[in-house]
Amino acid sequence: MRYKVIFWDVDNTLLDFPYSQEYALKKCLSEIGVEADKAMVERYSAINDSWWKRLELGEVTKKELISGRFQDLFSEYGINCEDMELFCSHYQIYLGSIYRYIENSPEVLKSLKGICRQYAVTNGVTWTQLNKMKLAGLLEILDGVFISEEIGAPKPQKEFFDGVFARLSDVNKEDVLIVGDSLTSDIKGGNNAGIATCFYNPDRKKYDTDLRIDWEISSLKEVKEIVEG
């Protein structure tokens, strides 16, 4: 067997993040009397992505991200929100209350159970991610979950993975494979941690990077073949 442990990214690898994001955003905006169209949802998604990239680089804190992305959106669209804290709270609740699978991710995880250990590694908000994974039935399949809020540093920072390996003291890095859709978070994180990387690229997007990519897949089912060698 080539790998004994898999670190799975969650959003856009196991679960469809845009699906949950659109639901949560529209629901929260409707509560303050705003009807979000497709263009607004897409603009929010771009703003949100930029904030998460800044978090990955250590330029902003998670607390700044949580409200800053909405402040940027509201400023662009002239939206008035009297209680930003409540808006953000409701958004995280709605975001963690609905899910849609990427491909047949639960079946892929189940097919690997007993063959290797599997852990989720995510930058999301703790309650949101745990609740969403619980509803999706992933928590009962996975061997554990590591969330940046609890570790104290986000992917791709080495400190995140140092925190993970401190909790998995019996795991050797050469036995670990990280699987994810993000070059800047998952693949760079894997490089920083000194572990093998698997880039999930279902749309076969073209990219230019100096990062080490050990494996590239377009279907989650390919992971089993990689693990078994």
Domain residue limits, the chain: 5-15+101-228, 17-95
Same fold, 5-15+101-228 and 17-95: no
Cα distance between the two ends of the chain: 6
Q: Report how far apart, in Å, the C-alpha atoms of 182 and of each of 113, 127, 224 are.
A: 24, 22, 20
Q: What pLDDT score does 145 carry?
A: 98
Burial-class residue 78 by CB neighbours within 10 Å (0-12, 13-18, 19+).
Answer: exposed
Q: Name the CATH superfamily housing domain 5-15+101-228.
A: HAD superfamily/HAD-like (3.40.50.1000)
Residues 118, 142 contacting (CB under 8 angstroms): yes
Q: Tell me, yes or no, if 16 is annotated catalytic.
A: no
Kindly give, in sequence order, each residue whose CB lies less than 8 Å from that of residue 112, ignoring residues fewer than 6 positions away.
6, 118, 223, 224, 227
Rounded Cα distance between 222 and 180, Å, is: 13
At residue 193, φ and ψ (nearest 5 deg) are -85, -15
Q: Report how far apart, in Å, the C-alpha atoms of 55 and of each of 7, 39, 65, 112, 150 are.
A: 20, 25, 8, 32, 15
Q: Which two tokens stand for residue 50?
A: 């930029």
Residue pLDDT tens, the chain, 229 long: 899 999 999 999 999 999 999 999 999 999 999 999 999 999 999 999 999 999 999 999 999 999 999 999 999 999 999 999 999 999 999 999 999 999 999 999 999 999 999 999 999 899 999 999 999 999 999 999 999 999 999 999 999 999 999 999 999 999 999 999 999 999 999 999 999 999 999 999 999 999 999 999 999 999 999 999 9
Q: What pLDDT score does 124 carry?
A: 86
Q: What pLDDT score does 221 carry?
A: 97
Q: Name the CATH superfamily housing domain 17-95.
A: Putative phosphatase; domain 2 (1.10.150.240)
SS (H, E, C) 49-98: HHHHHHHHCCCCCHHHHHHHHHHHHHHHHCCCCCCHHHHHHHHHHHHCCC
Question: Edge to edge, what strands does the sheet with 176-180 contain?
Answer: 144-147, 117-122, 5-8, 176-180, 196-200, 215-217
Rounded Cα distance between 65 and 118, Å, is: 29
Residue 129 carries which side chain, given as an amino acid letter?
Q
> Residue written as tokens 């303050």?
32
Rounded Cα distance between 20 and 95, Å, is: 5
At residue 217, φ and ψ (nearest 5 deg) are -130, 155
